[in-house]
Amino acid sequence: MIFAFDIIILVFLVVAALISLNVKDLLSASMIYGIYGFLICLLWAEMGAVDVAFTEASVGAGVSTVLLVATVFNTRRRSSD
Amino acid sequence: MLSKVFATIAVAITGSILLYGVSDFPAFGDPHSPANAGVPGSESVSLYFIEESYKDTKVPNIVTSVLADYRGYDTMFETVVIFAAGMAIFAILRVVGNKEETAAKAAEEDSFTNGDHNRIIVGTTVRIVVPVIQLFALYVVAHGHHSPGGGFQGGVILGASFIIIALAENLNAALRRLSELNYVRLAAIGIFIYAAFGIMAQVLGSNFLDYGALQPIFMTDGPEMARSHSMLGVEIGVAFTVTAIMFAIYANLASRGQLVKGL
Amino acid sequence: MAEFIHDHIQPYFNYWVYVIIMMIGLWALIAKNNLIKKLIGLSIFQTAIILFYVSMGVKDGATIPILGHHGSSPPASEHRLFEDLDEEEPKKAHGKPVDHHAADDEHGEDHTHGHAGHHKTNPDLIANPLPHVLMLTAIVVGVATLGVALAISQMIFKEFGSLEEDEILEEIKASASDG
């Protein structure tokens, strides 16, 4: 656990969360949610939780992004907010 | 607009209460916090796992041994939850019947694939990459005792390899390799394998999921190696279910439950 | 200044950011109009809770919860893993340690061979595995339930032709007043 590394990732994490919730294009929102998942995976790897980081890398950054994109393709891409 | 004002007020109140509560927490990374070391008089159970799990099970990865052995009952029903989620999506989304429309759509899909030359490059690349991904997934499942990994991670990667086929070519190409009947079967078999290990232990006169009792079946020196081998079996069961359900969720979501064409 | 950061900010900074992330997710759940945005908010809320759980198990200077092949720690931090060796290190700095008792010799041998049969593992130097186990299954179950939620939102889109909450509510009101 390195404090400087922690600060950088956590700041990026908050920024990624805010952008993915405020961007109006839902496809971009899904992709930025994937970035958010990957940053969280980095944070866990840094905390020593390697198994959790591995799961998050495959689930959060991989499968859940694909599921969101699949739904966005089958519904509407624009969002009002 | 009113909802935004209300949300901001609610979030501000909750957030300030939580921030106030943080000041009473043990410092971040404190090895002697109650969660890590327990309180005086009652030791944290994690200390037992760190000190004794290798002697009990001969598995170096403590997370795997706690996941599949000490908390095996929990993990079994987590797997059942994943299975139930897959079945729920089947119940919500799956459209059965209307064969003509489905066939017409499939024909349209075929012409689309044949005419699109971009998919040749992506499809060929994926065909080369997918075996490597699947081999890695099997490694992750089998090597979960010694390195990060196990049934959940390996299952998700194996499921993702089928999703990649569906993305690069089309959903039918992936369904030819893992059809709907087969993935539902695979999901059920996974849970059955997990439960079978528990019931075998019961038949041999011990508690449900007490793998030490399986020693006569694995013909090992002591109950430790029997527990280690059973953990591998259980992880394989978990990997089956997770693989099948991850692909099932994608297949249903991408095709609005019709299981043709895909994205 | 550096001391102030070390004493008052470093121990709590992570927890503050978790609260902020959690509140971002909660705000999105209440205030956002689009159902997909609500689901992303829900996932962010969930990851904040998982982050909090995992950080409960963090120990300063600890290694990952995977032991070496003889039940010892990975080789890189081996010399730190045994409580008794920490006391031995200063002696070694002075050159060859004096033979007090046989036990010390044994420690030295174990150290060089990486074989740690009769040492007690120091739990302060291995991260707490219990939160990892609990959260590992939570993540996978989380994606399965996200799939169910997305399936339901697809059905809502099929029924009402929209994913915006206000439009759906208007549609429901219109159909209620018709019937």
* Chains in touch with A (≥3 Cβ pairs < 8 A): B, C
Higher-confidence residue: B49 or B110?
B49
Distances (CA, A) of C34 to A30, A66, C31, C48: 13, 19, 9, 21
| Residue in this structure with the two tokens 């099929």, named with its chain if needed | C158
Tell me: the pLDDT tens digits for B155-193? 999 999 999 988 888 788 888 888 888 999 999 999 999
| Residue in this structure with the two tokens 């930025």, named with its chain if needed | A32
Residues C74 and C43 placed together within one structural domain of the fold: no
Stated as kind and residue range, the H or E segment containing C40 is: helix C35-56
Handedness of CA C130, C132, C133, C134 (dihedral sign): positive
Place B196 in a pLDDT band, splitting at 50, 70 and 90: very high
Top mean-pLDDT range of B132-136, B146-150, C161-165: B132-136
CATH number at residue C27: 1.10.287.3510
Contact yes or no for C11 and B28 at CB 8 A: yes
Cα–Cα distance, B133 to B126 (Å, whole number): 10
Residue where a domain stops, chosen among C85, C110, C126: C126
Residue C95 pLDDT exceeds 50: no
Residue C92 pLDDT exceeds 60: no
Mean pLDDT of B233-259: 89
Q: Which residues lie closer than 8 Å to C129 by C-beta, 6 or more apart?
A: B46, B49, B50, B62, B63, B66, C57, C65
Tell me: the pLDDT tens digits for B74-87? 999 999 999 999 99
Mean pLDDT of C18-28: 91
pLDDT of residue C120: 63
Q: For residue C138, which of B234, A60, B159 has the smallest C-alpha distance? A: A60
Contact yes or no for C150 and B55 at CB 8 A: no
Nearest CA in chain C to A22: C37
**Mean pLDDT taken over chain B:** 85
Write the residue in B153, B250, B253 that is nearest to A54 by C-beta: B153
Tell me: the pLDDT tens digits for B202-237? 898 888 888 888 888 888 888 888 888 888 999 999
Contact yes or no for A29 and C28 at CB 8 A: no
Residues C9 and C52 placed together within one structural domain of the fold: yes
Mean pLDDT of C143-151: 91
pLDDT of residue C44: 92
pLDDT of residue C32: 87
* Chains in touch with C (≥3 Cβ pairs < 8 A): A, B
A2 touches C: beta carbon within 8 Å: no
Angle between helix axes C10-31 and A3-22 (nearest 10 degrees) is: 10
Contact yes or no for A55 and C146 at CB 8 A: no
Domains of chain B, by residue range, sit at 61-254
**Mean pLDDT taken over chain C:** 75
Residue B2 pLDDT exceeds 50: yes
The percent of residues above 70 in pLDDT, for chain C, comes to: 70
Which segments of chain A have a pLDDT < 70? 1
End-to-end CA distance of chain B: 35
Within B60-207, residue ranges assigned H as helices are: 62-65, 72-93, 99-115, 118-142, 151-168, 171-177, 180-203
pLDDT of residue C85: 44
Identity of the residue numbered B127: R
Per CB-CB distance under 8 Å, the chain A contacts of C28 are 21
Residues C52 and C132 placed together within one structural domain of the fold: yes
pLDDT of residue C69: 64
Tell me: the pLDDT tens digits for C148-168? 999 999 889 888 888 888 888
Residues C68 and C122 placed together within one structural domain of the fold: yes
Residues C107 and C134 placed together within one structural domain of the fold: no
Under 8 Å between Cβ of C29 and B28: no
Residues C38 and C80 placed together within one structural domain of the fold: no
Cα–Cα distance, C40 to C28 (Å, whole number): 8
Cα–Cα distance, B151 to B241 (Å, whole number): 9
Going by the DSSP 8-state scheme, the letter that residue C113 receives in this structure is H
| Residue in this structure with the two tokens 């994926």, named with its chain if needed | B126
Per CB-CB distance under 8 Å, the chain A contacts of C47 are 36-37, 40, 60
Range of C120's domain? 61-126
